[in-house]
Homo-oligomer: A and B are copies of this chain.
Protein backbone atom coordinates (compact mmCIF):
# COMPACT_ATOMS: atom_id res chain seq x y z
CA UNK A 1 0.00 0.00 0.00
CA UNK A 2 1.60 3.34 -0.96
CA UNK A 3 1.80 5.79 1.92
CA UNK A 4 -0.13 9.04 1.47
CA UNK A 5 2.28 11.93 1.11
CA UNK A 6 1.61 15.06 3.12
CA UNK A 7 4.55 17.16 4.19
CA UNK A 8 2.56 18.79 7.00
CA UNK A 9 1.46 15.49 8.41
CA UNK A 10 4.11 15.00 11.13
CA UNK A 11 4.00 11.90 13.28
CA UNK A 12 6.19 10.59 16.09
CA UNK A 13 7.46 7.02 16.30
CA UNK A 14 8.54 5.65 19.69
CA UNK A 15 10.55 2.52 20.37
CA UNK A 16 10.02 1.57 24.01
CA UNK A 17 12.77 -0.86 25.00
CA UNK A 18 13.84 -2.56 28.20
CA UNK A 19 16.86 -0.26 28.55
CA UNK A 20 16.15 2.79 26.38
CA UNK A 21 13.36 4.81 24.81
CA UNK A 22 13.86 6.24 21.31
CA UNK A 23 11.54 8.81 19.72
CA UNK A 24 11.71 10.18 16.18
CA UNK A 25 9.63 12.82 14.40
CA UNK A 26 8.81 11.91 10.79
CA UNK A 27 7.51 14.16 8.04
CA UNK A 28 4.98 13.28 5.33
CA UNK A 29 7.69 11.47 3.31
CA UNK A 30 8.64 9.34 6.33
CA UNK A 31 11.95 11.19 6.67
CA UNK A 32 13.15 11.48 10.27
CA UNK A 33 13.50 15.20 11.07
CA UNK A 34 14.46 14.96 14.74
CA UNK A 35 15.05 12.26 17.36
CA UNK A 36 15.91 11.74 21.00
CA UNK A 37 16.85 8.93 23.35
CA UNK A 38 16.43 8.49 27.11
CA UNK A 39 17.00 5.56 29.45
CA UNK A 40 13.90 3.54 30.35
CA UNK A 41 14.72 3.06 34.05
CA UNK A 42 11.88 0.57 34.44
CA UNK A 43 12.93 -0.05 38.04
CA UNK A 44 11.65 3.44 38.97
CA UNK A 45 8.13 2.24 38.30
CA UNK A 46 5.43 2.44 35.73
CA UNK A 47 4.37 6.09 36.08
CA UNK A 48 7.95 7.22 35.81
CA UNK A 49 8.44 5.29 32.55
CA UNK A 50 5.26 6.78 31.07
CA UNK A 51 6.46 10.28 32.01
CA UNK A 52 9.83 9.49 30.37
CA UNK A 53 8.06 8.43 27.16
CA UNK A 54 6.13 11.71 27.23
CA UNK A 55 9.36 13.69 27.78
CA UNK A 56 11.14 11.80 25.01
CA UNK A 57 8.30 12.57 22.56
CA UNK A 58 8.24 16.27 23.54
CA UNK A 59 12.04 16.54 23.26
CA UNK A 60 12.04 14.94 19.79
CA UNK A 61 9.33 17.36 18.65
CA UNK A 62 11.42 20.23 20.02
CA UNK A 63 14.53 18.88 18.23
CA UNK A 64 12.55 19.07 14.98
CA UNK A 65 11.62 22.73 15.72
CA UNK A 66 7.95 21.81 15.89
CA UNK A 67 5.23 22.00 18.51
CA UNK A 68 3.22 19.01 19.70
CA UNK A 69 0.14 20.58 18.07
CA UNK A 70 1.68 19.89 14.67
CA UNK A 71 1.83 16.15 15.40
CA UNK A 72 -1.03 14.09 13.98
CA UNK A 73 -0.30 10.98 16.00
CA UNK A 74 2.20 8.98 18.03
CA UNK A 75 2.98 5.31 17.34
CA UNK A 76 4.67 3.17 19.99
CA UNK A 77 6.37 -0.20 19.72
CA UNK A 78 6.22 -1.90 23.12
CA UNK A 79 8.20 -5.00 24.14
CA UNK A 80 5.45 -7.48 24.93
CA UNK A 81 1.89 -8.53 24.21
CA UNK A 82 -0.30 -5.59 23.25
CA UNK A 83 -4.07 -5.27 22.88
CA UNK A 84 -4.04 -3.05 19.82
CA UNK A 85 -7.69 -1.99 20.07
CA UNK A 86 -7.36 -0.51 23.56
CA UNK A 87 -3.62 0.26 23.36
CA UNK A 88 -3.00 -1.77 26.51
CA UNK A 89 0.31 -3.51 27.18
CA UNK A 90 -0.91 -6.82 28.58
CA UNK A 91 2.50 -7.96 29.78
CA UNK A 92 6.11 -7.07 29.04
CA UNK A 93 8.70 -9.47 30.46
CA UNK A 94 11.52 -6.91 30.06
CA UNK A 95 9.64 -4.09 31.83
CA UNK A 96 9.35 -4.73 35.56
CA UNK A 97 5.78 -4.57 36.84
CA UNK A 98 4.10 -3.99 33.47
CA UNK A 99 0.81 -5.83 33.38
CA UNK A 100 -2.37 -4.52 31.73
CA UNK A 101 -0.96 -0.99 31.38
CA UNK A 102 -3.35 1.38 29.51
CA UNK A 103 -0.46 3.07 27.68
CA UNK A 104 -2.58 4.63 24.92
CA UNK A 105 -5.07 6.15 27.36
CA UNK A 106 -2.42 7.48 29.75
CA UNK A 107 -0.25 9.03 27.04
CA UNK A 108 -3.15 10.53 25.12
CA UNK A 109 -4.15 12.31 28.34
CA UNK A 110 -0.63 13.64 28.83
CA UNK A 111 0.16 14.54 25.18
CA UNK A 112 -3.25 15.53 23.83
CA UNK A 113 -2.46 13.58 20.62
CA UNK A 114 -3.80 10.21 19.34
CA UNK A 115 -1.53 7.32 20.42
CA UNK A 116 -1.32 3.84 18.86
CA UNK A 117 0.48 0.93 20.50
CA UNK A 118 1.80 -2.22 18.83
CA UNK A 119 4.22 -5.02 19.68
CA UNK A 120 7.79 -3.90 18.98
CA UNK A 121 8.65 -6.80 16.67
CA UNK A 122 5.53 -6.15 14.58
CA UNK A 123 6.42 -2.45 14.46
CA UNK A 124 10.02 -3.09 13.39
CA UNK A 125 9.07 -5.44 10.54
CA UNK A 126 6.43 -2.93 9.42
CA UNK A 127 9.10 -0.20 9.29
CA UNK A 128 11.50 -2.34 7.27
CA UNK A 129 8.74 -3.53 4.94
CA UNK A 130 7.33 -0.10 4.14
CA UNK A 131 10.44 2.10 4.17
CA UNK A 132 13.36 -0.19 3.26
CA UNK A 133 11.55 -2.73 1.06
CA UNK A 134 9.00 -0.26 -0.39
CA UNK A 135 6.15 -2.65 0.57
CA UNK A 136 7.16 -5.01 -2.25
CA UNK A 137 7.57 -8.51 -0.73
CA UNK A 138 4.33 -10.35 -0.03
CA UNK A 139 5.62 -12.22 2.99
CA UNK A 140 8.44 -11.25 5.33
CA UNK A 141 9.74 -12.58 8.64
CA UNK A 142 11.62 -10.08 10.80
CA UNK A 143 14.10 -11.32 13.42
CA UNK A 144 15.32 -8.57 15.74
CA UNK A 145 18.18 -9.55 18.01
CA UNK A 146 18.73 -7.20 20.94
CA UNK A 147 18.20 -7.50 24.72
CA UNK A 148 15.70 -10.20 23.74
CA UNK A 149 14.70 -11.53 20.34
CA UNK A 150 11.59 -10.03 18.81
CA UNK A 151 9.89 -10.94 15.60
CA UNK A 152 7.20 -9.81 13.24
CA UNK A 153 5.38 -11.17 10.21
CA UNK A 154 4.21 -9.59 6.98
CA UNK A 155 1.71 -11.89 5.25
CA UNK A 156 0.05 -11.15 1.91
CA UNK A 157 1.65 -7.71 2.01
CA UNK A 158 0.24 -6.68 5.39
CA UNK A 159 1.29 -6.90 9.02
CA UNK A 160 -0.02 -10.18 10.41
CA UNK A 161 -0.57 -10.23 14.14
CA UNK A 162 -2.73 -13.32 14.57
CA UNK A 163 -5.70 -14.27 16.69
CA UNK A 164 -4.50 -12.81 20.02
CA UNK A 165 -2.34 -10.16 18.41
CA UNK A 166 0.69 -12.16 19.55
CA UNK A 167 1.95 -13.71 16.29
CA UNK A 168 5.67 -13.28 15.75
CA UNK A 169 6.75 -14.20 19.30
CA UNK A 170 9.70 -16.02 17.75
CA UNK A 171 11.99 -15.30 20.71
CA UNK A 172 10.19 -17.98 22.68
CA UNK A 173 10.37 -20.68 20.04
CA UNK A 174 12.11 -23.57 21.84
CA UNK A 175 15.24 -24.62 19.90
CA UNK A 176 17.13 -26.51 22.60
CA UNK A 177 14.70 -28.24 24.92
CA UNK A 178 17.46 -28.96 27.46
CA UNK A 179 19.17 -25.61 26.98
CA UNK A 180 19.66 -22.64 29.32
CA UNK A 181 16.73 -21.22 31.27
CA UNK A 182 14.87 -18.33 29.64
CA UNK A 183 13.29 -15.31 31.36
CA UNK A 184 9.89 -16.78 30.43
CA UNK A 185 10.50 -19.85 32.60
CA UNK A 186 11.10 -22.37 29.81
CA UNK A 187 14.41 -23.79 28.65
CA UNK A 188 16.27 -23.25 25.39
CA UNK A 189 14.10 -20.50 23.87
CA UNK A 190 15.66 -18.77 20.85
CA UNK A 191 16.26 -15.66 22.97
CA UNK A 192 17.92 -17.65 25.77
CA UNK A 193 20.46 -18.85 23.18
CA UNK A 194 21.20 -15.92 20.89
CA UNK A 195 20.08 -12.57 22.37
CA UNK A 196 22.55 -10.03 23.71
CA UNK A 197 21.52 -11.13 27.22
CA UNK A 198 22.41 -14.75 26.39
CA UNK A 199 25.70 -13.76 24.73
CA UNK A 200 26.76 -11.60 27.69
CA UNK A 201 25.84 -14.35 30.16
CA UNK A 202 27.97 -16.84 28.23
CA UNK A 203 30.90 -14.43 28.17
CA UNK A 204 30.66 -13.61 31.87
CA UNK A 205 30.38 -17.30 32.75
CA UNK A 206 33.43 -18.02 30.58
CA UNK A 207 35.50 -15.31 32.28
CA UNK A 208 34.54 -16.77 35.67
CA UNK A 209 35.71 -20.16 34.42
CA UNK A 210 39.09 -18.67 33.51
CA UNK A 211 38.65 -18.05 29.75
CA UNK A 212 41.14 -15.45 28.47
CA UNK A 213 39.63 -12.49 26.67
CA UNK A 214 40.65 -8.96 25.73
CA UNK A 215 37.34 -7.76 27.17
CA UNK A 216 38.72 -7.89 30.73
CA UNK A 217 41.65 -5.69 29.63
CA UNK A 218 39.20 -3.29 27.99
CA UNK A 219 36.55 -3.19 30.73
CA UNK A 220 37.96 -4.77 33.90
CA UNK A 221 37.25 -8.21 35.34
CA UNK A 222 33.62 -7.42 36.17
CA UNK A 223 32.81 -6.53 32.52
CA UNK A 224 30.30 -4.07 33.97
CA UNK A 225 29.76 -1.77 31.03
CA UNK A 226 29.86 -4.44 28.31
CA UNK A 227 28.19 -3.54 25.00
CA UNK A 228 27.75 -5.33 21.67
CA UNK A 229 30.31 -2.97 20.10
CA UNK A 230 32.96 -4.16 22.56
CA UNK A 231 32.53 -7.70 21.26
CA UNK A 232 33.17 -6.48 17.72
CA UNK A 233 36.31 -4.64 18.84
CA UNK A 234 37.62 -7.69 20.71
CA UNK A 235 37.00 -9.99 17.72
CA UNK A 236 38.78 -7.59 15.36
CA UNK A 237 41.76 -7.62 17.73
CA UNK A 238 41.85 -11.42 17.51
CA UNK A 239 39.92 -12.49 20.62
CA UNK A 240 39.35 -16.24 20.09
CA UNK A 241 36.97 -16.72 23.02
CA UNK A 242 34.63 -13.89 21.99
CA UNK A 243 34.80 -15.12 18.37
CA UNK A 244 33.67 -18.54 19.49
CA UNK A 245 30.76 -17.22 21.55
CA UNK A 246 29.56 -15.03 18.66
CA UNK A 247 29.96 -17.89 16.18
CA UNK A 248 27.78 -20.07 18.40
CA UNK A 249 25.12 -17.33 18.69
CA UNK A 250 25.19 -16.89 14.90
CA UNK A 251 24.65 -20.65 14.49
CA UNK A 252 21.59 -20.48 16.74
CA UNK A 253 20.26 -17.54 14.72
CA UNK A 254 20.84 -19.60 11.56
CA UNK A 255 18.80 -22.46 13.04
CA UNK A 256 16.09 -19.94 13.97
CA UNK A 257 16.06 -18.67 10.38
CA UNK A 258 15.80 -22.23 9.02
CA UNK A 259 12.93 -23.09 11.39
CA UNK A 260 11.02 -19.98 10.31
CA UNK A 261 11.67 -20.61 6.60
CA UNK A 262 10.53 -24.23 6.99
CA UNK A 263 7.37 -23.17 8.80
CA UNK A 264 6.44 -19.97 6.96
CA UNK A 265 8.04 -20.08 3.51
CA UNK A 266 8.57 -16.29 3.34
CA UNK A 267 9.89 -14.29 0.38
CA UNK A 268 12.30 -12.36 2.61
CA UNK A 269 13.90 -12.85 6.02
CA UNK A 270 15.04 -9.57 7.62
CA UNK A 271 17.65 -9.61 10.37
CA UNK A 272 17.88 -6.54 12.57
CA UNK A 273 18.29 -5.22 16.12
CA UNK A 274 21.28 -3.95 18.06
CA UNK A 275 23.28 -7.19 18.01
CA UNK A 276 22.94 -7.56 14.24
CA UNK A 277 23.79 -3.90 13.78
CA UNK A 278 27.00 -4.22 15.80
CA UNK A 279 28.10 -7.65 14.60
CA UNK A 280 26.66 -8.11 11.09
CA UNK A 281 30.13 -8.57 9.53
CA UNK A 282 31.04 -11.24 12.07
CA UNK A 283 27.70 -13.11 12.06
CA UNK A 284 26.01 -12.90 8.66
CA UNK A 285 28.01 -15.53 6.75
CA UNK A 286 27.64 -18.04 9.61
CA UNK A 287 23.89 -17.35 9.88
CA UNK A 288 23.43 -17.94 6.13
CA UNK A 289 25.48 -21.15 6.08
CA UNK A 290 23.73 -22.61 9.12
CA UNK A 291 20.30 -21.64 7.79
CA UNK A 292 21.01 -23.34 4.46
CA UNK A 293 22.31 -26.46 6.23
CA UNK A 294 19.17 -26.70 8.37
CA UNK A 295 16.38 -25.69 5.99
CA UNK A 296 14.68 -28.44 3.98
CA UNK A 297 15.93 -28.73 0.38
CA UNK A 298 13.97 -26.40 -1.88
CA UNK A 299 12.65 -24.15 0.88
CA UNK A 300 15.47 -21.57 0.66
CA UNK A 301 15.48 -21.24 -3.13
CA UNK A 302 15.55 -17.54 -4.05
CA UNK A 303 14.50 -16.57 -0.51
CA UNK A 304 16.29 -13.33 0.35
CA UNK A 305 17.98 -13.21 3.75
CA UNK A 306 19.09 -9.68 4.49
CA UNK A 307 20.35 -7.48 7.30
CA UNK A 308 18.20 -4.37 7.62
CA UNK A 309 19.97 -1.09 6.91
CA UNK A 310 17.60 0.69 9.29
CA UNK A 311 19.48 -0.71 12.29
CA UNK A 312 18.20 0.67 15.56
CA UNK A 313 15.82 3.01 13.66
CA UNK A 314 13.56 0.18 12.45
CA UNK A 315 11.40 0.55 15.57
CA UNK A 316 10.80 4.34 15.41
CA UNK A 317 10.31 4.11 11.64
CA UNK A 318 7.67 1.39 11.94
CA UNK A 319 5.97 3.23 14.79
CA UNK A 320 5.79 6.31 12.54
CA UNK A 321 4.28 4.20 9.72
CA UNK A 322 1.66 2.94 12.17
CA UNK A 323 0.85 6.46 13.41
CA UNK A 324 0.51 7.71 9.82
CA UNK A 325 -1.91 4.90 8.97
CA UNK A 326 -4.02 5.21 12.08
CA UNK A 327 -4.12 8.96 12.80
CA UNK A 328 -7.13 10.64 11.25
| A residues adjacent to B (C-beta < 8 A) | 81, 90-91, 138-139, 151, 153, 155-156, 160-170, 172-179, 184, 186, 188, 252, 255, 258-260, 262-267, 293-303
Contacts and interface: CB of A to CB of B under 8 A. Distances in A.
A96 to B, nearest CB: 16
Contacts of A293: 186
B139 A163 contact: yes
Q: Considering the complex of A and B, which 6 residue pairs feature the smallest CB-CB distances, nearest first? A: A162-B265, A167-B265, A169-B262, A166-B299, A81-B298, A176-B177
A160 B260 CA distance: 14
Nearest to A83: B298
Contacts of A155: 155-156, 160
Contacts of A302: 163-164
B265 A165 contact: yes
Nearest to A169: B262
Contact of A174 (B255, B264, B266, B300): B255
B176 A176 contact: yes
Nearest to A82: B298
Nearest to A260: B263
A162 B264 contact: yes
Nearest to A160: B155
A265 B168 contact: yes
B139 A91 contact: no
Nearest to A304: B163
A252 B176 CA distance: 12
A187 to B, nearest CB: 9
Contact of A294 (B161, B174, B265, B267): B174
A297 B164 CA distance: 11
A296 B82 CA distance: 12
A298 to B, nearest CB: 4
Contacts of A156: 155-156
Given A81-B298, A163-B266, A265-B162, A175 B172 contact: no
B259 A173 contact: yes
Nearest to A158: B156
Nearest to A259: B173
Contacts of A170: 262-263
A97 to B, nearest CB: 15
A297 B80 CA distance: 10
B168 A90 contact: no
A126 to B, nearest CB: 16
